Every structure is written in C-alpha cells, then in structure tokens.
Chain A
Amino acid sequence: MDMWNILEYAAWALSVLFAALMLVDLARVDSTYDNDLLTSSREGEIEATQERHQI
C-alpha cells in the first residue's frame, strides 16, 4: 500500500463528502422553503428594471 493507494481512498472519501454536503443541503432547503418561492426567478428582471434598451 503506497501513497497512491492512500490517495485513491482519500479521493473516494472526499467525493462522498462533497456529494453528501450537496444532497443534505438540497434536502434541507427543499423541505424548509416553499417551492413557489424557490422557483420564483423570472427571466428579464434586469431588463425590466435597469437595462431598458430604449433609445
């Protein structure tokens, strides 16, 4: 078992860690907030408020 074997295991462990961080947060957010709020983003808000493109 040399350094590269240890690195392999470390990579597996870190992959699981990052995946878990994302999934746990996703589950937490989805159960805490209302879905209508989460999907409330609309395209074109920037144009509607400040970049009107009028001559």
Chain B
Amino acid sequence: MANVTSTAAAPERLQLLRVLGPGHVWALGVGIVLVGEYMGWNFAIGKGGMIAGLVACWVAGLLYTCVAMIDSEVTSTVAAAGGQYAQAKHIVGPLMAFNVGLFLVMAYTMLEAGNAITIGFLLDTVAGMQGHSGLNQQPFIILAVMFLAWLNYRGVLATLTFNFVITAIAFLAIIILFLVVQFGGSNVPLDFSAVAEEPLPYGWVGIIASIHFGLWYYLGIEGTCQAAEEVRSPSRSLPYGTMAGIMTLLIAATLTWYVCSGLIPWEYLGQAGTPLFDAARVTGSTGLMVLLFIGTIFSTLASANGCINDASRAWFSMGRDRYLPIWFGAVHPVYRTPYRSIVFLVPIALIFALGAPLDQVVTFSILSGLLGYTFMSFNMVMFRRKWPLETIKRGYVHPFHPLPAIVLLVLCATAYIAVFLGYGTQLIAMMCFYIVASLWFHFWRYRFVRRGDQFTMPWPRPQGY
C-alpha cells in the first residue's frame, strides 16, 4: 500500500498526513477566532460601556499574547496532535492531561455549536427580510455541521485550504469596512461623544465584567497547536503561524471596536446580534452590507470548521493513549484523518446546537478555554523548571520568562471574577463537572492506561524526578 508510511523500527504505521505550512496554521488559528469579531465581543460593551469594551479588548489581547508566546515555545518542542493535551501529559501529569483534553473538546465543540446556531439565526434574519417568516433553522444547522465534518473527514489539506480562503475574505471585509468609513464613505459620521459623556456607566466593576466577553475577540487562537502532527515543520511553522495569528487578531479587534463604537450607539451595540453587519447597515452602502454579510457567514463557517478539526484531534489523541477507548485512536487509511473521532463528535455538537441557547453554549466554551489558559501559566513554569533551556532544544524560546506566565495567571483570575458576575451558577456547575470527571478518571479510567508509554518525547529525565 503506497499510502502507509513504514519506518525501520515498526512494520506498518498509519500516521496523520503531514502537509500543512505556516499559512494553514494561521488559517486554523485565526479562522476559529475571527467570528468573535463578527458577533459576541460587543456584549463586552453591554457589560461595561464603550471604554470598558476597549480596555477589555486590549486586556484580553495581552492575555492572549501571553498564551500565544507560551504556546509557541511549548508546542514547538512537543509536536503532537492534541496540542496542550500532550503538553500537559509530559509536563504536569496524566490527570491534568485528561482534564486539558476535556477542556479542548468542550471549548471547541461548544463553540462549533454556537457557530451553527448563529448560521441558522442569520439565515432566519435574511429570510425574514425577504418576507419569509418562521424559517425552520434546523436543517441549516445540521447541514453546516455535516458538511464541515465531511470536509474534515476527507482530509486536512483541503479543509484548511478552504479555511484559509474564507478566513482571508472575512478579514479583508473588516479592513475594507474600516477604510471606507475612515475615508468618509459612510452616510452617518463616526461619533465618539459617548466616550466622554458616559465613559463608564457601571464604574470600574464594569471593566472587570466586560473582560468576560473581551475574551471572545481571541478565543481559540491556541487551537493552532492541534495541527502539530500535520505540519511539515512543526518547530518553525507553529510559532510563526501562531504569532502571525495573534497579530492579525489584535489589528482586527481594534479596528472592529473603532468602527462599531463610532457608528452604533453603545446601548444598541451592547446587545446587537451581528455588530459588524449592523455597522455596515448604518453606513447606508449596499455593497458594504453584502460584503459584511458574506464576512459573517464565512467567519462562522471557518470557525466551526476549525473547531471540528481541533476537537477531533484532541479526542483522537486521548483515544490513542487509552484515556478514552482506543477505538477513537484510529487514522483513516486513505485520507489520514482521525475519522472515527470526527464522526463521533458530530451528534455531540448537534445535541448542543439544537438544544441549548447561544449564551449558555458560549459561556461553557469560554469557561473551558479559561481553565485551559490557567493551566498554561503554571505549565510554562514547570516546563522551564523540569527542562531548563540548556537541556533540550526548543524551536522557539519566548522572552521575559516568567513574566508572561505571571501576567497570564493574574488575568485569568480577573476573568473568573468577570464570568462570575452574571454567570456564577454555570461556573460552579462546570467546576463540579470537571471535579467529578477527574475523580472518575483517577480512580477508574486510568487503570487502562499504559504508564511508561505516555511519555513519548525523546527528552532526558525531568529534573527533580
């Protein structure tokens, strides 16, 4: 069989296909996230006012810059599908790895469900504008998930090339909107008087509260690590793609805040379903409206697509290590994708997309992401302590250690309080879920795992063990 790699040591081994370059890594990272600019981030303005929205945008930007730096260093050294899951397994330990794997699968599957819900909602809006009320959204939600799952099933190169194209279009749409508005192409001028008149309608607590949705500008950029086993040169492409991704997002987030805050009264913006599309409506230009509608649809599809990719890699890696049944650790012999994991996660995503309200699904996703970032901060410190710089070669070494890790931890603590303001019950319910799942893993599931086999990197013994 031509499509089976054989190494000298083992007879026949199926591996994921290694075909991706830095552009695909960028497309995976930015593709998942960019939808946050098209919807969701603006609830930060609702939670704290215009200034709070901008502060949240930059504070969350700082948080994610730390995430990107830390991730780039660790992943350029642990090139394994599952990303942070494999990092946790090598650096902290099996139970942490199981939890991180769950964070990843939950964060991405919930985000995927949220995207599918949004596609249904958008089509319903458009149908309503054309005089067809009461569109049945279900078939469109199911179709979006099925089509993207099928694309993922068929191979990673086509999937992420598709993502690259639609993500680039969605990003360009934001830039074009900014340029047109900036050079006077809008019927209604930009107006920032509310910044002076009502800078902080909730006072300082509003700034903390708004960080909750400030995370939406960037949530998912850490997903680039999931592609580690499929890029041609992981130690170079992953840091490059991730850093380029976070820069793209910082630009897009600031432009989005500027255009939307200037064109839309903040009280409306704070509760809008599709802020960028609304901004285009205010300009009065049909061309911009069409462009931003396409951008919204594309960014949602790109995000759901990347989420399927990432969630299935994490699930697959856990199956491969028998944290979950080994059945999930299978690679398709022709397409070389984790096909069983992809298929299995389809109904899971549909349960949430068809049954739960958008804000619940998204809060669950944000919280799982937040737990993952908290893990990254101490993971980084332990990584440098167990393997100091002179012991193993890293593809990328981030500067100012341990400052990014400390900043990340402080920002995570703030973000927990932000989520707590308004969504405390979900936070507590979810902590209980992860505690019960951890106990289940430690006292039951872990007995099926081979101990020594979990450590797969060719590193020396960690210091202090």
Whether chain A touches chain B in the assembled complex (some CB pair under 8 Å): yes
Interface residues of A (CB under 8 A from B): 2-4, 8-9, 11-12, 14-15, 18-19, 21-23, 25-26, 29, 33, 35, 37-49, 51-55
- Shortest C-beta distance, A50 to chain B (Å), equals 9
**Contact (A43, B81) CB under 8 Å given A11-B143, A26-B339:** yes
- Give the distance in Å from the alpha carbon of A19 to the alpha carbon of B81 in the complex: 25
Find the A residue at minimum CB distance from B332. A29
Whether A22 and B330, one on each chain, are in contact in the complex, defined by CB atoms closer than 8 angstroms, is: no
Q: Give the residue of B16, B135, B146, B331 whose beta carbon is less than 8 angstroms from that of A4.
A: B135
Whether A18 and B146, one on each chain, are in contact in the complex, defined by CB atoms closer than 8 angstroms, is: yes
Whether A38 and B331, one on each chain, are in contact in the complex, defined by CB atoms closer than 8 angstroms, is: yes
Interface residues of B (CB under 8 A from A): 4, 7, 10, 12-16, 18, 77, 79-82, 86, 127, 130, 132, 135-136, 139-140, 142-143, 146-147, 149-150, 153, 229, 234-235, 317, 320-321, 326-327, 329-334, 339-340, 342-343, 346, 390-395, 456-459
A to B CB contacts below 8 Å, 16 in the list? A2-B132, A4-B132, A8-B136, A9-B139, A12-B139, A18-B146, A18-B150, A19-B146, A25-B153, A37-B4, A38-B14, A38-B330, A39-B331, A43-B456, A47-B79, A48-B456
Whether A15 and B331, one on each chain, are in contact in the complex, defined by CB atoms closer than 8 angstroms, is: no
- Give the distance in Å from the alpha carbon of A26 to the alpha carbon of B332 in the complex: 9
- Give the distance in Å from the alpha carbon of A38 to the alpha carbon of B132 in the complex: 48
Tell me how many residue pairs across A and B have CB atoms closer than 8 Å. Answer: 131
For B7, the chain A residues whose CB sits under 8 A away are 45, 49
For A3, the chain B residues whose CB sits under 8 A away are 132
Whether B12 and A8, one on each chain, are in contact in the complex, defined by CB atoms closer than 8 angstroms, is: no
Whether A44 and B13, one on each chain, are in contact in the complex, defined by CB atoms closer than 8 angstroms, is: no
For B333, the chain A residues whose CB sits under 8 A away are 29, 33, 37-38
Q: Give the residue of A8, A21, A53 whose beta carbon is less than 8 angstroms from that of B458.
A: A53
Whether B331 and A14, one on each chain, are in contact in the complex, defined by CB atoms closer than 8 angstroms, is: no
**Contact (A41, B79) CB under 8 Å given A4-B135, A8-B135, A15-B146:** no
Q: Give the residue of B12, B80, B130, B143 whose beta carbon is less than 8 angstroms from that of A44.
A: B80
Whether B326 and A40, one on each chain, are in contact in the complex, defined by CB atoms closer than 8 angstroms, is: no
Q: Give the residue of A33, A38, A41, A44 whose beta carbon is less than 8 angstroms from that of B16.
A: A41
